[in-house]
Structures are given as C-alpha cells and as structure tokens.
Amino acid sequence: MSEEIFLCSICNINSGTCKEDCKFCSQSVRYKADIERYKQKPIEKIKEEAIRARDNGALGFCLVTADKGLNDKTLKFVCDVAKAVIEVAPELRLIACNGTASVEQLLTLKEAGVKAYNHNLETSEDFYPQICTTHPWSERYETCLNVNEAGLTLITGGIFGLGETQEDRISMLRSLASLNPTSVPINFYHHNEALELQPNSLTIEEALSLVKLTRETIPKAQRIMVAGGRELMFGDRQNEIFGVGANSIVIGNYLTTAGRAMSKDLEMLKSLKLEVAKKV
C-alpha cells in the first residue's frame, strides 16, 4: 500500500458534443442521454474549479473535451484554458484529454503548459469493434505513441464491465504495459439508461482483483488510478482499493456523473493514515 495518494480532478470543458458511437459513452449525441451539453465551458468557471481542486489536495487537473480528437479550434481553446489555469493555480499539473492527437498538436499543448496527456485504450483490440465502429482501436494506440514521442507524460487506461471477457482484460492490460504509461486510470462502467450496453455486472471482489491485476501487469507505472465508477462499483468498500495496488483516485465529479464530496475522500484517506501526495 502506497503511503502517498495522488489526487486528480477532472474538468469537462466541452460536454456532450461527440459524434462517435462508443457504446459506453453518454457524451455521444447518438444516444440522446439526458446530460448537460455545451461547446465551451466559461474559462472563469474552469479557473474556479481548478482553485477548488487545488485547495482540496489535487495535484492533477485534467482538461477534457468530448470529441473524437483535436481540431484547430479545440486545440486553441485547450491552450487558452491551460494558460488561464496556470495563472491562478500554478501548483496544478495540467493534463489534457482531447481524443486522438498528432505529435504536432501535442507539442502545441506542451508549449501551452500541459504536462501530461490522457488517452485510454478502453478495452482490448479484439473487443473494441463491439463497442465502437466509427474509429479503430489502432488510432487510440497510435495517439499514445504520439504522446510518448512528444515528450508528454502518458496517461492511458481503460474500462472494465463493458461485457468483455477476462482474456480481453488481460489483452488490454498487456497493450497498456507496452506503452510504458506513467499513470493507468481504471474505470468501471457506469450505466446510463440511454446507452445500449447492459449495466456493469462485476462484483466488488472481481473489481478489486482487476485493480490488483492491473498493478501486477503494469508494475512500472508510477500510479494505478481508480477513476470513473469508483463510488458506484465499490460503495462503502472504496477504502479496499488501496490495499490491492491503487495509489491514485479522481476526486470530485466525473464527466457526466457525480462523484462524492471531495471532503469525504479526504476523510477516507485520513482514516486509513494515507497521506495526500504534495508533488509528482
């Protein structure tokens, strides 16, 4: 069990505008999920969220956009947001999560002050066509390679509970390991009634074993993060994730689902005598 836990906060700076058909994602316009949708969150509001995240112990602050990948307009907006956040909360380590990206685009983000890029493989290469048909898994893997080439810190993980087999899970983890990521965010599918996928049927014991398997398969990763779906998956047993290899969590809300109060997570860590990491 790590004695220091890295906290990260997610900021959904563009919501619900994606045209892709990822079956696990309520941000796709195809499924008409009842979520908040907007093209650009006001920068002043983003700055407020950044300050609140920092004041609650977050080191990472992730700027997320809901589209297949970066275009010129989105790239400029993310860079403008990054510069604005650095002005008010320079202590935060900025992470961008904006879909597929070229090396050139990633270098532009880097110049704006972004330190890391998050792009998840989501699942195994073989299972991916079952959950997305509008772009191939190979594009995701290629973007991760581009992140490494651009010299940004790579954050890449996936989702458990999409209907995949255990073989798919092992395959995804091996693919992640081949990319040598610094941080591996593990998500557990959070069902929305508008989506075609069936609800996540994993038990807590199975989910804990997958966190452990992630740590064992990707031992070089500095951080194994339990991200989306944590509260729903583990309920009052969330504390157990730290005993099986997790040393990072997302605090606050997620993209279209609410997390629990940041203070609750801080209380949990204190009760476990786990320190909040103060530096990367």
**CA angle centred on 223, ends 219 and 226, rounded to 5°:** 110
Which pLDDT score, from 0 to 100, does residue 7 have? 96
Into which CATH architecture does domain 4-276 fall?
Answer: Alpha-Beta Barrel (3.20)
Q: Which two tokens stand for residue 168?
A: 């798919």
What's 191's DSSP letter?
A: -
Give the pLDDT score at 257.
Answer: 52
Q: Which amino acid is at 126?
A: D
Residues of the chain with confidence (pLDDT) below 50: 1-2, 256
C-beta separation of 240 from 254 below 8 A: no
Backbone angles phi, psi at 187, to 5 degrees: -110, 150
The tokens 């080439």 sit on which residue? 149
Compute CA 181 distance to the chain's CA centroid, rounded to the nearest angstrom: 13
Q: Of 252, 256, 255, 187, whose CA–CA distance to 224 is shortest?
A: 187
Distance of alpha carbon 76 from the chain centroid: 21
Neighbouring residues of 30: CB distance < 8 A, sequence distance ≥ 6 = 19, 21
Q: List the chain domain ranges.
A: 4-276
DSSP reduced 3-state for 250: strand
Give the CB-side neighbour count of residue 19, counting CA atoms within 13 A.
1
207, containing H or E segment: helix 204-217
One-letter amino acid identity for 123?
T
For residues 134 and 20, is the Cβ–Cβ distance under 8 A? yes
pLDDT of residue 2: 44
Looking at residue 193, its pLDDT comes to 66
Alpha-carbon separation of residue 248 from 17, 43, 112, 157, 276 (angstroms): 29, 27, 25, 13, 9
Enumerate residues 6+ apart whose C-beta is below 8 A from 126.
Answer: 168, 171
pLDDT at residue 39, rounded to an integer: 75
d(CA 191, CA 156): 21
